[in-house]
Amino acid sequence: MNSVAALIGIGVLVVFMLLRMPVGFAMFLAGFLGFFYVASPEAALNMLSGDIWEQFSSYGLSVIPLFVLMGSIAFHSGVTENLYRAAHKWVGHLRGGLAGTTVVASMGFAAICGSNAATAATMGTISLPQMKKYRYDPALSAASVACGGTLGVVIPPSVVLIVVAIQTEQSVGKLFVASIIPGILLGLLFLLTISILCMKNPALGPAGERASFKEKLAALPGVIETLVLFALVIGGLYLGWFTPTEAGAAGAFGALVIALLQRKLTWPGFVSAVFETLRISAMVMVLVTGAVVFGRFLTITRLPYTLADWAAALPVPPHVILAVVILIYILGGMFMDALGFLVVTIPVFFPLAIALGYHPLWFSVLLNILTTLGAVTPPVGVCAYIVSGLAPEIPLPTVFRGVLYFLPAYFICILLLILFPQIVTFR
């Protein structure tokens, strides 16, 4: 009976979302109405006030605005230009070097920024005009920015990983560390993709001028601040010097100090960084709290556990069920924002994965990569839209065509994670 109510609740949620109700609102409303029906009106009203206050004033969730602030300050203080210049000196002379530069610089920026949209927007502003100047294939140049942007949420710090960690009651620090190697691996696979493409067809990405070793060394100081900040935040978190909130605060403060010392942050830039942080944080908080309310409704119906028990008892190997889950995430990611899709589905699929014996860290990292793929696939590919917006001469279908070149890299990365889970778990 309760499972039927849960399925109706999920149906109502989907209808609300398809009617363009923001995902967070839809989860709030569907969860509240479901709880109202299954438990009691009084319980639903009490749950609503208690959950809102608990989530909004949670010390654990205060990490979100601080990490977003760190990325926003870096975005508005021109850190990206230094990263791009340094990466260009080192790999710009290779065939497809500018596309490679974009990916390497995106990896660097992802190390201090937790958002794929911000990474794509930042890198695109600098690299798209350069690639146009050197007559790069529009599909390759656009896709290198869009796919490079997706590294923003794979390489820590990552807003998506923070939310996943909080929702699944895992350590933010451990999840960050677990995602470092997969993030670098994905970036390297992108570089390999560019090399193979440009080897087969040099016209796609002509080689640039070679920099001398002296010039290469001279470009490095531009990236040292970023590396120091990354080492401070992730190292401090991993070594237990900071709580995740403190790591976010130290990162934001460090980014601010670096920007001020370099005289690269103006007052309007700082205000924009703060207001951008507020918009992202409020959006994430509504999503997370909505997911908590919807999760409570699912919990009292016991649907996730019933589903997990049922799937675990199926006479098929766990990898078959995993393949179905992967397919659901790839398809879901195509239609929904990564974070929105994750918060909606985690209450159902996370207990299932654990019941099947998968490692929580491994499954979380896998989900993150799967859903970030949705940021570059049609019809709702945020990073693809950003690139097309930055370079209106590159139509959206061309961006999506370019993304096709990079899809094997995502799938190889996912396959490697499945074959060698120790990439994430270290055991």
Partner 1 sequence: MNKLEKLSNWLNKTLAWVAGGALIVMMTLSVANIVLRLAHRPLGGTAEAVGWLAALTAAFALGYTQIHRGHVAIDFLVERLPRGPRAVVDTLTSFAATAFFALAAWRVASYAHRLGQLGKLSETMHISFFPFTYAVAFGFACFALVLLVDGLKSVKGVIQK
Which stretches of the chain bind partner 1, using CB under 8 A?
16-25, 28-29, 32, 45-46, 48-50, 52-53, 56-59, 61-62, 65-66, 69, 242, 245-246, 248-250, 252-253, 271, 274-275, 277-283, 285-287, 335-337, 339-340, 379-380
- Min dist CB 45 to partner 1, Å, is 6
- Least distance (Å) between residue 61 CB and partner 1: 6
Distance of CA 360 to the CA centre of its chain: 18
Query: 186 vs 336, which CB is nearer to partner 1?
Result: 336
CB of 243 to partner 1, least distance (A): 8
CB 12 within 8 A of CB 30: yes
What's the closest the beta carbon of residue 275 comes to partner 1, in angstroms? 7
∠ CA(228), CA(232), CA(234), 5° rounding? 115
What is the closest distance, in whole angstroms, from the C-beta atom of residue 330 to partner 1 in the complex? 17
- The residue written with tokens 């849960």 in the block is 6
Name which of 281, 285, 260 is nearest 74 in CA terms: 260
The least distance separating partner 1 from the CB of residue 53, rounded to whole angstroms, comes to 6
Nearer to partner 1, 273 or 311 (CB): 273
Which of 49/212 has CB closer to partner 1?
Answer: 49
Indicate the residue among 189 and 234 with the shorter CB distance to partner 1. 234
| Residue nearer to partner 1 on the CB measure, 69 or 258 | 69
Cβ proximity to partner 1, 47 vs 105, nearer residue:
47
How far, in Å, are 5, 155, 322 from residue 303 at the CA level? Answer: 9, 33, 18
Residue 193 or 368 with smaller CB distance to partner 1? 368
- Rounded Cα distance between 57 and 348, Å, is 26
- Of 146, 147, 188, 179, residue with least CA distance to 160: 179
Spatial neighbors of 96 by CB under 8 A, at least 6 apart, are 140, 194, 195, 197, 198, 204, 205, 207
Q: Which is nearer to partner 1, 66 or 413 (CB)?
A: 66
- CA distances in angstroms from 94 to 130, 180, 194, 314, 395, listed in the order given: 15, 26, 10, 51, 27
The answer to whether the CB of 402 falls within 8 A of the CB of 413 is no
* Comparison of 202 and 389: residue with beta carbon closer to partner 1: 389
Q: Which two tokens stand for residue 57?
A: 């004033």
Q: Calculate the alpha carbon distances from 272 to 42, 74, 259, 319 in Å.
A: 42, 12, 14, 46
DSSP strands (E only) in 138-277: none
Whole-number Å distance between alpha carbons of 5 and 114? 36
CB of 238 to partner 1, least distance (A): 16
d(CA 335, CA 345): 14
Shortest reach from residue 328's CB to partner 1, in Å: 16
Q: Taking the complex as a whole, how short is the minimal distance between the CB of residue 223 and partner 1, in angstroms?
A: 24
